Amino acid sequence: MSHHDIAAKLLAVTTAAAATALVAGCAVGPDFKSPAAPQTDRYTAEPLAAATASTPVGGGESQAFAIGKQLPARWWTLFQSDALNRLVDESFNGSPTVAAAEATLRQARENMTATNAELLPSVDGTASATRQKISGAQFHGSPNIFSLFDASVGVSYGIDLFGGARRAAEAQQAMVEYQRFELQAAYQTLAANVVNAAVAEASLRAQVAATEDIVAALQHQMDITEKQYVLGGAAYSDVLSARSNLATQQASLPTLSKQLEQTRHRLAVYLGKLPSEFTAQQFDIADLKLPRELPVTVPSELVRQRPDVRAAEAQMHQAAANVGVATAEMLPRISISGNFGDEAAKVGDLLSSGIWNVGANVTQPIFHGGELRAKRRAAADVYDIATAQYRQTVLSSFADVADALRALEADASAFNAQYTASTSAEASLRLVEKQYALGAVSYLNLLTAQKQYQQAHIGYVQALASRYQDTVALFQALGGDWSEAPASTVAADH
């Protein structure tokens, strides 16, 4: 048999031993199983109405709950705004938060590849060359100068008899799953933040416009009051009240403008841009369409749709695998190794004779002062923690959906009431304004009517925004079908 045959056989024997150990060896520790979904058929204690209340104005449409219908991955397209769709897509491509989540997922995958490599034999080649001189005195000769060349191939394999290495690989695979769901959660949260910011911008613009209309009306009324005072038809106190009311409304405009600019600055950050670089379209509440049909995932499927729940499950899986890793540390470890090589005074003489060795090693922990048992108990405690955190995440996810569903019902009713209050207050104000111009009512009557209209109209605009934002909250709470991943997620997989 040639030396090359010996080396090949050495590698083949080691590889066969590895394969046999992987097939025959048992893996200590618990075999993880996904927790069962909660046994319930609804999210709220009381059944939902088939649809919400409606109001005869844009944004007041009734919303129907489509129980069991799947929420699309790109749920923001349900608002039917091309500008909004472009903004969300731009945020996916520019957000540093998403970029960090994608890089973290790639890191986890590389760590998994490195961990899986530990299940295979390792082969290392070494070579060395030395030039040395030795004294010939002990041999009654002259000094000797010579060269020595060495080349060898070593094969080693730790037999995973009790599955510790496999459990470590399983734990790393669970970490990859965790990071994958964290990336999905980052996309979902970013989309919700962008849509909510767009709705907030539209709402604030509407509030600014409404306040400017009110200021213009108050300015007109103040001019009338001052003329009446000059003619003796009004008291000076009426003039002071008119000026104060006008100034109060004017003072609210800078606050609304500040909030509007801050909202656009947040949008810039979501897109990964500096505020000075943000030139996206300004949103108007009329540009967004309220979804008439609301897909509502059945409760038994929610735990498979929410990325935070899936991430918590992956943490449970990792903790279970780590119990196996800690258990295997208490059991014997077996490894085999072999080397084949040669030494020669000339490079050309290498592998002419050949030297080789094959060996095995068994290590059994005997006394570590209770360290190994303590580590296993600690690993089991981590699994208990992960289990409790998973349960808490599930409870919170169901509460999120229940809150959003009830909020949508309440929003529709509140918007209907605000619409009635706003239209009634506006009609009342117009009547009192005519009466005041004719001197039929006092300024106190006009002031009361103005305040009622101001409060009712601003409340109307805010109630309209709440319908959109709570619709976003429902979509985010449901999680969505992420089988259709955003383009950047697909790119991160390769």
Average pLDDT over residues 157-176: 92
Query: According to DSSP H, which parts of 25-145 are helical?
Result: 82-94, 96-117
Q: Which of 270-279, 351-360, 375-384 tops mean pLDDT? A: 375-384
Supply the pLDDT for residue 7.
47
> What is the DSSP code (8-state) at residue 358?
E
CA distances from 206 to 59, 216, 372, 405 (A): 13, 15, 65, 26
Most confident range, picked from 7-21, 119-133, 302-316, 470-484: 302-316
Domains, the chain, with CATH or none: 1-30+124-159+342-364 (no CATH), 31-119+162-330+371-492 (1.20.1600.10)
d(CA 191, CA 179): 18
Instruction: Classify the phi-psi angles of 354: left when phi > 0, otherwise alpha if psi is within -120 to 50, otherwise beta.
Output: left
| Per-residue pLDDT, 341 | 80
pLDDT per residue as tens digits for the range 404-422: 999 999 999 999 999 999 9
Lowest-confidence region among 42-56, 69-83, 139-153, 279-293: 139-153
Distance CA 416, CA 467 (A): 11
- Whether 442 has a pLDDT exceeding 90, the answer reads no
Cα 212 to chain centroid distance, Å, stands at 40
Which pLDDT does position 357 carry in this prediction? 84
Please state, for a pLDDT cut of 70, what percent of the chain lies above it: 89
Average pLDDT on 411-439 reads: 92
**For the chain, how are helix, strand and coil distributed in percent, rounded to 5?**
65, 10, 25
Using an 8 Å Cβ cutoff, are 278 and 268 in contact?
yes
- Our CA dihedral for 199, 201, 206, 210, rounded to 10 degrees, sits at 140
Compute, in degrees rounded to 10, the torsion defined by CA atoms 433, 438, 444, 449.
-20
Mean pLDDT value across the chain: 87
Give the integer Cα–Cα distance in Å for 197 and 270.
10
Chain segment 385-407, per-residue pLDDT in tens: 999 999 999 999 999 999 999 99
Two structure tokens written together for 326: 């800690």
Q: Is 151 within 8 Å of 356 (Cβ atoms)?
A: no
Which distant-in-sequence residues (6+ apart) come within 8 Å of 282 by Cβ?
201, 205
Place 21 in a pLDDT band, splitting at 50, 70 and 90: very low
- Strand (E) or helix (H) holding 319: helix 307-328
Taking only the tens place, the pLDDT of each residue in 367-377 is 999 999 999 99
User: What pLDDT score was predicted for residue 254?
Assistant: 94
**Residues with Cβ within 8 Å of residue 240, at least 6 apart in sequence:** none
| CA distance to 56, 422, 427, per residue, from 414 (Å) | 14, 12, 20
- The better pLDDT of the pair 144, 455 is held by 455
Dump pLDDT digits (tens) for 315-350.
Answer: 999 999 999 999 999 999 898 988 888 777 777 767
The per-residue pLDDT for range 128-147, each reduced to its tens digit, is 888 887 776 666 666 678 78
Give the closest residue to 118 by CA, choosing from 177, 155, 161, 166. Answer: 166
Return the pLDDT at 486: 58
pLDDT over 90, % of the chain: 56
